[in-house]
Amino acid sequence: MDEVHHRTSACGNERMRVPMKNLRIWTLLLTAILLSSCTTQEIVIEKEIIKTGKEGSGSELLTTFEPVESSILDNGRMWTFEYAPREYFEETYNFEATDAWFERARLSSVRLPNCSGSFISPDGLVMTNHHCAREMVSAVSQEGEDLLVDGFYAETMEDERPIPDYYLDQLVEIRDVTDEILDVVDAAPAEEQAAVREQKISEVQQALTAEFEADGDKSVQVVSLFNGGRYSAYIFRRFTDVRMVMAPELQIGYYGGDADNFTYPRYNLDMSFYRVYVDGQPYQPEHFFPFSSEGVEEGDAVFMIGNPGSTTRLNTVAQLTYYGQYALPYRLSFFRNLIRALDAYTAADPENPMAMDLRNTVFSLKNTEKLYGGQVHAHRDPYLMGRKVDNEMKFVSKLKASPDLRDTYMPVLERIEAIQMEKAKLGPFGALTIGLQPNSFASPSMLQRGYLATQMLAGIFPAEFEEQIMGQLLGIMDDDPILERELLKSHMQFLTDVLPENGGYFEDVNWFGTDDMAVGMFQEMSALSSQESAAEFFAQDKSEWGSDPAVQYFQEFGERLFEDSARLSELSDEEDELVTRLGRAWFAVYGTTIPPDATFSLRIQDGVVAGYEYNGTLAPAYTTFYGMFDRANSHHSDPQWELPQRWLDLEDGTGGLDLGTPVNFVSTNDIIGGISGSPVVNIDLEIVGLAFDSNKEGMGSSTLILDDRSARSVNVDVRGMIESLRHVYKADRIVAEIEAAGQDMAGQDE
């Protein structure tokens, strides 16, 4: 018998009748509640992003763009050291970049687990960004301290704090292993080449690791360049004794918060300092970058040395169009909803230790959200995509000019396009499992259990793995109840955003309650809401599992979900293999006159210091401390622009702080995530800045094209760093070390 429940609508006071046919309808209710007419404007905009992504232009699955004149440098200026652009640097900047110049640039740089950095003194002092060091600042905090809020400075070397489970890598040697790998791959049958490639790369890596085993501090990584067109073995020296020396307050290292993130003009001291130790003593590197005493002026050539994470500039127009219409909007929706959940949780109890621990996570997620938002717009921009079309047309023309290249590689481009069309037809179902891995922080534990159980019921896993999967299922830990509720709301909204409105998933629901009411009901009705009750529930025969709402939640679209996910996985594997062949095509046509896509491996990016047009006016090449204090006064009631007291004490200029000192500057260097923390150096390899961000104009386009009309790298100015270390943080020991390093280097050069 149908029960009848009376509730008050979330959007008004009218009473609505809800026939309770079964639990499944109530489960559907949970994803449908957020479709009601009281949806916020922000969520409406979210739906429009997804809708636009699915519809493209007219009835086309993939939007078409008209060609716009392109340049060979549209593929970027992220040059590798093994294919160093000596002639290009000499022609463009009128100086001779010798082998010794490139070697010093390489050996003075280091790679962090998540960012880049550099040696800046003969006693192993290392510079990187504050946002690269946030987790490490938390890791060295002692009981009763909140160093993220208060900052840290070691008055003496004895006060420098070891960072647990941390390391830095220095690239000491590069070997070309292309022929060793491709000769074996090319000899294998086509259907086996992916596995053969993976096996051969592993063998090369293991052999080199064994060769350097006696050193005890070496690690080896085989890096794919040009998407598999070339291969290099990178031999690193790994330093595992890394200590925290100095980090400013979070309020200064992330000044302006999320509002100023990916913007310029900017006033951010995004800097931190480590020291490397070997055998308990400060490491003495042979090469390091001294600080420039002069800084930079507009028009100066500057070089950024770091490890850019990932770009897709050598991908086809069809691939990039698919990203912009489908993949990126789905990811953007997921991250926006997750951020809403975590913000709501931390706001509910900001002093909760778990909420405090989530701060770094939320900062990173908001960074990702802005990045994906910019990428969505860039991948739909007719001008930028038009340049990609023209770039590809020129590439294809060169392929067709050679019968061998045409016959070998044109079928690759055609098949890649066909794959994008098929992926577009599959719709959003491959995106619905984002963040549902067991014990992921990005989804509610209840749904993690429901999803894994639904997979088991559908026979997704081979029988021999059932016991292992059951162990994972029972091992899913409970979330904080408030966090669980917010994550549940987040996931429901994500499904609402991306599932087709005409797919039959919501049509049986004719009543809407409030978010909290529906979520609370879901949690009360499901045995999977806690680890303890879930263990009892899963002890039943599998035939009973489908009675739980958390399982029914996924069964509503489970068949389509699993079918599409499996097909997307097949297509992804095929596409990966085709992309490696595409990379060989690019290398066959252009060789090393263009750089490969970014791979979180060491690169050198050239550029010049330059302002740009924005907002109907001009953005200056650099900003000063005057602007920082103006920002604080103009936003006096907003905590994002509050200044710590030790800064406010210097506002009148009586404390020695020169307010006219440059704090940030912009340059045309090619920047992408991963390159944060990179030194920005002049032709003499002196540090003039510290890369930390892209501006809004560049954040979205940088993965697909180098567009330096207004796209800029935003850098901390070396003059602002020294001025603040000296007068604000009273870090005289570090200032003296940095200045002495510059004098020592100047003496060596004379």
| Those residues with Cβ within 8 angstroms of residue 370's Cβ, 6 or more apart along the chain or in another chain | 258, 261, 262, 699
- The average confidence (pLDDT) of the chain is 88
d(C-alpha 495, C-alpha 509), whole Å: 15
In DSSP terms, 15 is beta-bridged to 8
Residue 529 tokens read as 């809401």
Asked if residue 80 lies in contact with residue 603, where contact means CB atoms within 8 angstroms, the answer is: yes
Q: How confident is the model at residue 291 (pLDDT cuts 50, 70, 90)?
A: very high
Helices (H), 130-234: 130-140, 147-150, 178-187, 193-211
Given a cut of 70, is residue 34 above it in pLDDT?
no
Asked if residue 101 lies in contact with residue 128, where contact means CB atoms within 8 angstroms, the answer is: no
- Residues 578-604 have pLDDT tens digits of 999 999 999 999 999 999 999 999 999
The reported pTM is 0.85
**pLDDT the model gives residue 6:** 34
Q: How confident is the model at residue 51 (pLDDT cuts 50, 70, 90)?
A: low
Per-residue pLDDT averaged across 12-17, rounded?
A: 34
Asked if residue 33 lies in contact with residue 17, where contact means CB atoms within 8 angstroms, the answer is: no
Q: Let me know how long the chain is.
A: 750
- Of 293-302, 361-370, 597-606, minimum mean pLDDT range: 361-370
Query: What is the SS3 assignment for 523?
Result: helix
Given a cut of 80, is residue 257 above it in pLDDT?
yes
**pLDDT the model gives residue 750:** 52
**pLDDT the model gives residue 561:** 84
Which amino acid is residue 339, in one-letter code?
I
14 or 472, greater pLDDT: 472
- Of 431-435, 439-443, 603-607, 678-682, minimum mean pLDDT range: 431-435
Asked if residue 77 lies in contact with residue 606, where contact means CB atoms within 8 angstroms, the answer is: yes
Q: How confident is the model at residue 175 (pLDDT cuts 50, 70, 90)?
A: very high
d(C-alpha 664, C-alpha 715), whole Å: 5
- Residues 660-683 have pLDDT tens digits of 999 999 999 999 888 999 999 999
Of the candidates 499, 611, 680, 515, the one whose C-alpha atom is nearest the C-alpha of residue 109 is: 680
Of the candidates 707, 631, 661, the one whose C-alpha atom is nearest the C-alpha of residue 257 is: 631
Q: How confident is the model at residue 498 (pLDDT cuts 50, 70, 90)?
A: confident
Ramachandran class of 478: left when φ > 0, alpha when ψ lies in -120 to 50, beta otherwise: beta
- Of 188-202, 378-392, 429-443, 711-725, minimum mean pLDDT range: 429-443
Per-residue pLDDT averaged across 8-37, rounded?
A: 35
- Residues 304-320 have pLDDT tens digits of 999 999 999 999 999 99
Residue 307 tokens read as 């490890």
Residue 371 tokens read as 């990045």
User: Which residue ranges make up each domain of the chain?
Assistant: 3-62+314-392+425-505+514-568, 108-167+240-300+601-665+709-749
Q: How confident is the model at residue 96 (pLDDT cuts 50, 70, 90)?
A: very high
**pLDDT the model gives residue 602:** 98
Per-residue pLDDT averaged across 221-225, rounded?
A: 97
Q: How confident is the model at residue 501 (pLDDT cuts 50, 70, 90)?
A: low
Q: How confident is the model at residue 49 (pLDDT cuts 50, 70, 90)?
A: low
Residue 218 backbone phi and psi in degrees, to 5: -105, 145
- Of 78-87, 118-127, 741-750, minimum mean pLDDT range: 741-750
Residue 162 tokens read as 């070891």
Question: Hey, how many other C-beta atoms are within 10 angstroms of the C-beta on 564?
Answer: 20
- CA distances (Å), origin 506, targets 319, 511, 512, 513: 32, 11, 11, 14
Asked if residue 444 lies in contact with residue 493, where contact means CB atoms within 8 angstroms, the answer is: no
Which amino acid is residue 307, in one-letter code?
N
Per-residue pLDDT averaged across 482-500, rounded?
A: 86
Q: How confident is the model at residue 655 (pLDDT cuts 50, 70, 90)?
A: confident
Q: How far is the first Cα of the chain from the last one, in angstroms, to the nearest whole number?
A: 95
- List of E strands, 213-286: 218-225, 230-239, 241-247, 272-278, 281-282
